[in-house]
Structure 1
Amino acid sequence: MTGETPRKTGVILLNKPYGVLSQFTDERQGEPRPTLADFVDAPGYYPAGRLDFDSEGLMVLTNDGRLQARIANPRFKLTKTYLVQVEGEPDDEPLRLLREGVRLKDGITQPAAVERIADPMLWPRDPPIRVRKSIPDSWLRLTISEGRNRQVRRMTAAVGHPTLRLVRWAVGDWTIDGLPPGEWRSA
């Protein structure tokens, strides 16, 4: 025993805006990019997993290394749910492919839960997505339990419906429901 009081495990839920790195520092040379440090001032907390620079939504941060590893490691199959705006209007075939597993360059994905949804009531994205008058877009709710690099974007592109906007809505039971972009709360 060191005589220290054990630190209580803490969890922070952040709604990461578009164009923010999912880390606290930017190692790239040149013009600095926004990082988690611009939104969260909580020493000792670290992200449990990543979210692409061009994706938005839920990031879970914790001060517990074991919990961090459990959340981030695909072996524990913690689900991640995304609201995905895609190019076009997928019919049953692309959805079937997503539900069965999609062949990507790094192998076949695990089956995803996916459904078409009405346009969700989300905050405006800055900058807005590109809109093409001749090509409609639509929204999907897609849940996966893997964590491959840019997996959701690669899956939707593989079935012929590239992702235009990607918002991670939930990780396990944690969600960003009611949490504005750039804001965080303790869980």
Structure 2
Amino acid sequence: MAIRKLQLWLQLTRSHGIIRRYFVVNGFDGALTMLGLITGFYLSSQAVLEVVISACLGAAIALAISGVSSAYLSETAERRKALADLEEAMVADLSESAHANAARVIPLLIAIVNGAAPLLMSLIIISPLLLVQSGVEFSPDPLLIAITTAFVCIFGLGAFLGNIGGTSWWLSGIKTMAIALTTVVLILLIEQ
């Protein structure tokens, strides 16, 4: 029953695309932020694992809170305006309607997705570091594994976009990897 209501509210508000965009945009932000942080720590060659993890978790939490709060505030305002416009056009009070319920619930759903995306990407990317901290041994440097994981996540987001847009998922993944590579190159240039 709750799933059907949610589907109805998503349909009424036409929010499927918004949710996808928020997931990709903020997932990309989280992945690039982690890539930048970890690359910087790797280049410093004096990175203490606990400091790297703390910095990455701090950034991930900040991105998540920013994503939830900014999306909730902006989407709530937009949904209230859309409901008020609809009430004005229909010359009716819709406060007990499916439209009103959607205006209350959809901003919360969008906010959760908006905040969860960078947090999820960040946790996936730093998972090799968390594993090392818990005692798992890696033969290559765990920072390099985390950097590689970031590239994989970024490629995955690009492939997802290509699939949604009906274009080559492979080419779209390569484009997002090029952005990630540009980020690393700029960090390398700054570190020189």
TM-score by length of structure 1 reads 0.23
Greater strand proportion: 1
Greater share of residues in helix = 2
TM-score when normalising by structure 2: 0.22
